[in-house]
Structure 1
Amino acid sequence: MKRAESTPQMRKTLIDNGLQLLNKVGYHDFSMRQVAAMSGVSHAAPYKHFKNKEDFLVAIKTTVLQSFMASLKEAVLQCDDNPRTRLAEMGKSYIKFMVENPEHMKFMSLTAQKNNIRVVDNHFEYQSDSPFAAFLKIANEYLQSVSANPESYVTDILSIFSVVHGMSLLIVEQSIVFEGDYMPYVSEMIYNRMRG
């Protein structure tokens, strides 16, 4: 039986398979024809959802970022108004999401050069719609709440973000393997990086 090629579910399937292929072969060798084959549909099927390869790649990036950002926002909304707790929960959610969605982590590493964070004259330059922007907002609120010296904000934020992003990478790449629940370690490490 032929698979329906123009349904919302097929679009999701194409994006999921596109993400896997992109992580495996990179941008240069990525092809919509290969994604169609992986999805069990005709080579024309992706064009019912995406204008061209560039449009397809944008859809993959948008899907990855939206799901990740939703996870971070949900973590903050579910905790109290204490800025320290909010930052810790966002950090924990960041790591948990990446560990549970390693293909997202690989994709974000693949596109990092286009979304890099720059430190210039003791302040950050970054894309306003990036996950780092969401992290930075909560981190700034926390540092203000503990009356940290604004001159140390960049160092403080880099210290916390390095634990969060670094642990995500180490666990996803299995450079560190935890027997049992890793979250108590993650939580303690994040809190140890914070003041107050």
Structure 2
Amino acid sequence: MRDTYHHGDLKKQLILVGIDIINQEGPEGLSLRKAAERCGVSHGAPYSHFKNKEEYLKNINAFVENAFSEALMEAEMNNNGDERGRMARMARAYVGFFCQHPSFYSFYTKYAEFRIDIHETSIDCVGAKPFYIFKNAAEQFLNMKGMPKEKQAAQIIQMWALVQGITMFAVMPSIHNDLKWEEYTEKLLMNKED
């Protein structure tokens, strides 16, 4: 049977459909066959991109993590010498990314493969590239402010909790804000930094 998918990048479409399936049915509900059906392609078409379900899941995880990381890195690079505004731009990018891709938020917070270890005076992360980018920017900001290293972990968790909480509100369809969520996040974060 010939592929009937003619709308662009099949691999990307399979990944996006996979995210939706996982969000609706959990990882156990994901199958290459189900994804193929939703994309309107033959049941064998996904196997030209993924050898099995495990590889498919890894590609979905990598896709979301890379897209999220790129959004944060872009915000970090566009600092125009304004170190004070770095964290505000990072927070805007964090919230903005998930406002544009709410299904990614559900997947990333429930099923992405990473680990963050929070200690009283340090934070370690494994496989959490977006958090690592956020944490490094926060550390640079706090170093610039002269905050002692042993106090930084608590401050980073506060900043992350603020951004993560606003992101959760932003993607919930029942919560509305008369401002743009990205602007609201920046406003709250900048008030917190004063």
- TM-score, normalised relative to structure 1: 0.90
- Aligned equivalents of 1:160 and 1:12: distance in 2? 32
Structure 1 vs Structure 2 CA RMSD: 2.2
Q: Which residue of 2 is the match for residue 55 of structure 1?
A: 55
* Aligned-residue offset at 1:96: 0.6
Percent identical among aligned pairs is 27
- TM-score, normalised relative to structure 2: 0.91
Residues 116/193 of structure 1: CA separation in 2 closer, same or farther (3 Å cut): farther
Q: Which residue of 1 is the match for residue 92 of structure 2?
A: 92
Q: Which residue of 1 is the match for residue 109 of structure 2?
A: 109
Is the 2:21–2:29 Cα contact (8 Å) retained in structure 1? Answer: no
- Unaligned ranges ≥5, structure 2: none
SS at match of 1:148: coil
- Aligned equivalents of 1:69 and 1:37: distance in 2? 30
Which letter maps to 1:15?
I
How do 1:1-196 residues align onto structure 2 when only pairs under 5 Å count? 3=3, 9-111=9-111, 114-127=113-126, 129-174=128-173, 176-195=175-194
* Aligned-residue offset at 1:5: 6.0
Is the 1:13–1:39 Cα contact (8 Å) retained in structure 2? Answer: yes
Is the 2:83–2:141 Cα contact (8 Å) retained in structure 1? Answer: yes
- Unaligned ranges ≥5, structure 1: none
- Aligned equivalents of 2:168 and 2:190: distance in 1? 19
* Aligned-residue offset at 1:116: 3.2
